[in-house]
Amino acid sequence: MAGNYGGSSIPTTPIGGAELYGGRLTTYKTYACTGVVASAGTATFQVGGVTFNLGEAENIDLLLNPGQLTAAPSGVYFLCYDCSCLSIMSGITAPSAVNYSGASSDIWKPTIIGNGGQNS
């Protein structure tokens, strides 16, 4: 699932499982994670009550919100990014977008071309 998900999704930040779980409702509540990497011989994490087990040095790609973790992870770290939308937008603009707020200057505000000449 590597790729640009908008905002500051590139690059991702490695965050330890225990740290992410501890801050899932505070520090990391606006984060999104795109991968999980085993950092020990035995690695587990739980999402929505489903337990995932990884072998040594295994990794999986997935998209999850830290608030979805339902138990403290063990032996893993997560690849995450801040998805609070407080940073300058990057990536592809959705065709349904009309207005974006929070851009620091007019140069960073997107111009949408198409849709029968209805530009913003």
Q: Are 26 and 32 in contact (CB under 8 A)?
A: no
Report which of residues 102 and 112 the model is more confident about: 112
Q: Is residue 19 over pLDDT 90?
A: yes
Across the beta sheet with 69-74, the strand order is: 50-54, 43-47, 69-74
Q: Is residue 104 over pLDDT 60?
A: no
The residue with tokens 């407080």 is 86
pLDDT one-digit tens code per residue, 32-59 = 998 999 999 989 999 999 999 999 889 9
Q: Give the per-residue pLDDT at 1.
A: 46
Lowest-pLDDT range of 7-11, 55-59, 78-82: 7-11
| CA–CA distance, 36 with 32 (Å, rounded to integer) | 12
Note the helical H segments in 16-118. Answer: 17-22
Residue 53's nearest CA partner among 29, 21, 75 is 75
